[in-house]
């Protein structure tokens, strides 16, 4: 693998479609089933030591994106680049390197540790796979780092003997024990109660800073994402609709969907009289939805041009932000906007 200074993990126009189950009759009639477009043209670049969040409502494709990034799903189209190398061209050795450097933390702490293994055995596994010595020492170290003290007390316990917060700490320990470069976190605190959430979030962001790890943090909860991440991507029905540094997104959301999201964050003051978000309708079913802005049916600012897929472009005046909305760029002819598929990609970072 070649090293370069570009992003650690990057996706270019990543697509993941799922087949719906086809019946025999469909096959006989050669009827093509509509695909479920779970992830549709996502381009994200994660720099080293950066924490990026992906936020969106349930079913918008966050978890699919994460699993595709992890290499657990084969992407339908587009590329995943790890340190500039395309994962599609990975050999056995490259995958092993990738597996060592990209780790995952799941949402449900009660189900993300094997109930039949002790904590020691769970933490041992990645080390054994990658032939790393001084196993015991490392396990004790990492347990101390995730603040499970004293480590000896936890080593021979089973997952069923521990609380949700403790289990999530073990999950974090398992992800960090290989000293990876990237952590993919799939709503790691959403199943914990609020007081535990805070301590796990603190721990996670401290460790990420301390150990020079980059993190992809996926959640539906804007407050936890903004707490941990430097940059937030807003996802709606498989597409990223806006990407901006956290503070800017929170202060001045551009895309109508981001605006609605941020308006909906509760303010902990009962006397404060805020306007209520009025977002009509439901999320569309992501089956064969074709072209056009995904948000158009619910958008308060809907125009005719929204039947076409918006470009994902830099926001004028600020090249650190991107938004996919027709409101933010001029259209030469409103009736015939140029085909935008190619332009939708982010400028490519040199791959070699």
Residue 19 within binding range of other proteins, rule CB under 8 A: no
Residue 240: which H helix or E strand, with range? strand 239-245
110 counts as binding other proteins under rule CB under 8 A: yes
- Cβ(241)–Cβ(235) below 8 Å: yes
H/E element, 202: helix 194-210
To other proteins, the closest distance from the beta carbon of 99 in angstroms equals 3
Query: How many residues bind to other proteins according to rule CB under 8 A?
Result: 37
Phi/psi-derived region of residue 288, left when phi > 0, alpha when psi is between -120 and 50, beta in every other case: left
Q: Under rule CB under 8 A, which residues in 22-81 are in contact with other proteins?
A: 67, 70, 72
* Cβ 29 to other proteins shortest distance, Å: 21
| Member of 56, 61, 151, 159 binding other proteins (CB under 8 A) | 159
Q: Which is nearer to other proteins, 92 or 271 (CB)?
A: 92
Q: Does 20 bind other proteins (CB under 8 A)?
A: no
Site map 130..149 versus other proteins, x via CB under 8 A? x-------------------
106 makes contact with other proteins (CB under 8 A): yes
Buried b (16+ CB within 10 A) or exposed e, 12-27: bbbbbbeeeeeeeeee
CB–CB of 55/261 below 8 Å? yes
Residues 81, 181, 53, CA angle at the centre, nearest 5°? 75
- Count of other CB atoms within 10 angstroms of residue 288: 13
Contact between 107 and other proteins per CB under 8 A: yes
Residue 2 beta carbon to other proteins: minimum distance, rounded to whole angstroms = 21
C-alpha to C-alpha distance for 279 and 259, rounded to whole angstroms = 10
**Smallest distance, Å, CB 3 to other proteins?**
20
Identify residues 177-216 at the interface with other proteins (CB under 8 A). 178, 191
Q: Which neighbouring-strand residues pair with 102?
A: 182
The contact set with other proteins (CB under 8 A) reads 67, 70, 72, 95-96, 99-100, 102-104, 106-108, 110-117, 121, 125-126, 129-130, 156-161, 164, 171, 174, 178, 191
């Amino acid at each position: 693998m070649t090293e370069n200074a570009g992003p650690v993990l990057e996706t270019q126009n990543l697509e993941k479609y799922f087949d719906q189950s086809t019946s025999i009759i469909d096959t006989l009639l050669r009827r093509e089933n509509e695909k479920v477009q779970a992830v549709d043209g996502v381009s994200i670049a994660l720099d080293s030591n950066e924490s990026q969040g992906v936020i969106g409502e349930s079913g918008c494709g966050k978890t699919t994106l994460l699993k595709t990034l992890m290499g657990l799903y084969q992407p339908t189209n587009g590329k995943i680049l790890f340190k500039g190398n395309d994962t599609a061209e990975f050999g056995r050795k490259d995958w092993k390197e990738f597996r060592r450097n990209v780790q995952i933390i799941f949402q449900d702490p009660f189900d993300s540790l094997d109930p039949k293994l002790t904590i020691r055995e769970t933490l041992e596994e990645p080390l054994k796979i990658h032939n790393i010595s001084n196993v015991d020492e490392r396990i004790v170290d990492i347990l101390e780092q995730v603040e499970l003290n004293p480590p000896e007390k936890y080593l021979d316990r089973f997952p069923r003997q521990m609380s949700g917060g403790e289990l999530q700490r073990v999950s974090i320990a398992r992800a960090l024990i290989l000293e990876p470069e990237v952590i993919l976190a799939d709503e790691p605190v959403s199943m914990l109660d609020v007081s535990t959430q805070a301590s796990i979030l603190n721990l996670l962001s401290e460790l990420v800073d301390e150990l020079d790890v980059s993190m992809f943090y996926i959640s539906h909860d804007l407050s936890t994402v903004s707490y941990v991440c430097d940059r937030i991507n807003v996802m709606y029905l498989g597409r990223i609709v806006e990407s901006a540094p956290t503070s800017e997104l929170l202060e001045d959301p551009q895309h109508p969907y981001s605006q609605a999201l941020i308006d909906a964050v509760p303010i902990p003051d009962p006397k404060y009289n805020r306007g209520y978000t009025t977002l009509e309708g439901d999320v569309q079913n992501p089956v064969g939805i074709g072209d056009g802005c995904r948000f158009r049916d619910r958008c308060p600012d809907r125009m005719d041009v929204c039947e076409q897929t918006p470009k994902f472009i830099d926001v004028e005046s600020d090249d650190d932000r991107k938004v996919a909305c027709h409101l933010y760029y001029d259209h030469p002819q409103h009736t015939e906007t140029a085909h935008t598929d190619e332009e939708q990609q982010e400028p490519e970072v040199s791959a070699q």
